[in-house]
Structure 1
Amino acid sequence: MTTIKRTNSDNLDFIKLVKELDIDLGVYYKEEESFYGELNNIDKIKHTIVAYNKEDEPIGCGGIKEFSIKEIEIKRMYIKPNYRGQGIASIILNELENWSSELNYEKCILETLKEKPYAIAFYEKNKYNEISNFGEYAKAKNSVCFEKTLK
């Protein structure tokens, strides 16, 4: 059984999972690591989710960060490799969307890497539509961006 905890970026389990995510992403960033590293700073992420397994071990995370008055950005989605394919990412994403709605945001936006087709397929499966790269990702050649209107 997976349990979900709403927290913030000071949560030690969230910080630990983000460090694992950064190691995982290092393979993709190559010469762009400093660019993406700045954009992935967790200090500005006020709302985070940590998923736990039945032994109460942290197994996945995600966060939301305000992008505009109406838009919230999904950030730092990560599932430990041995827990992937079990629907945990969808549980986290759904909880982030619900929390965004509760905070009165109208749309979720996000960025992922073109070199991660499994991530692209995941967001498409969860009804995200590809959009032009936004904000600081506008000129990032390795990025692909998505949005989803909340109900």
Structure 2
Amino acid sequence: MIFKRVPTHQVDFINLVKQLDTTLAETDGDEHEFYHQFNGLDTLKHRLVGYHEEIPVAIGAIKELTPTCVEVKRMFTVPEYRGQGIGSRLLTELELWAKELDYEKSALETGKRQPDAIALYEKNGYARIQNYGQYKGQENSVCFEKLL
């Protein structure tokens, strides 16, 4: 598995974002448009694509939430490659990048209808916190944080 830092409009990143958005539209149902508005690619300066034998199979990104905290965004692994630890490795790469950029914490939001994502974040040391920012009061949102 190789993780590459890529520019915003890199084709592999864009193609996997489309797959992620299709999946989230199904999972989130009527709430998809609310969540989708916070996932613009132009705000993501730090993006990774994970490659297995040159095939793009995973993506993730970080963006500044506060001067000391990044927010993990657009985490996705192609379904056929799940269960192999790729999500954990991708998350670790994003955390290392955040530390390299001098951030102290990492935060993220996921949906209650995404139990595999919740399990991934808990397994990797993320603790549940009060919903932050635009996720305050959102019944489907679960927010997490981790000290780096």
Whether these two folds match at TM > 0.5 is yes
The one-letter code matched in structure 2 to 1:108 is: S
Instruction: Tell me, in whole angstroms, the C-alpha distance in 2 between the residues paired with 1:47 and 1:73.
Output: 11
Matches within 5 A, 1:14-53: 14-53=13-52
Equivalent position to 1:90, from 88, 91, 113: 88
| TM-score, structure 1 normalization | 0.95
Q: Percent identity, please.
A: 49
Matches within 5 A, 1:93-112: 93-112=91-110
State the Cα distance separating 1:8 from its structure 2 match. 2.8
Equivalent position to 1:76, from 74, 99, 107: 74
Structure 1 residues without counterparts, runs of 5 or longer? none
Instruction: Tell me, in whole angstroms, the C-alpha distance in 2 between the residues paired with 1:63 and 1:128.
Output: 16
1:62 aligns with 2:51: no
Equivalent position to 1:133, from 128, 131, 134: 131
How many aligned positions are there? 148
1:12 aligns with 2:11: yes
State the Cα distance separating 1:22 from its structure 2 match. 0.3
Instruction: Tell me, in whole angstroms, the C-alpha distance in 2 between the residues paired with 1:21 and 1:44.
Output: 17
User: Would the aligned equivalents of 1:8 and 1:45 in 2 still touch at CA under 8 Å?
Assistant: no
The one-letter code matched in structure 2 to 1:11 is: Q
Instruction: Tell me, in whole angstroms, the C-alpha distance in 1 between the residues paired with 2:21 and 2:96.
Output: 26
CA-based RMSD of the aligned residues comes to 0.8
Structure 2 residues without counterparts, runs of 5 or longer? none
State the Cα distance separating 1:15 from its structure 2 match. 0.7
List, as ranges, runs of 4+ consecutive aligned residues in structure 1 with deviation greater than 3 Å: none
The one-letter code matched in structure 1 to 2:59 is: C
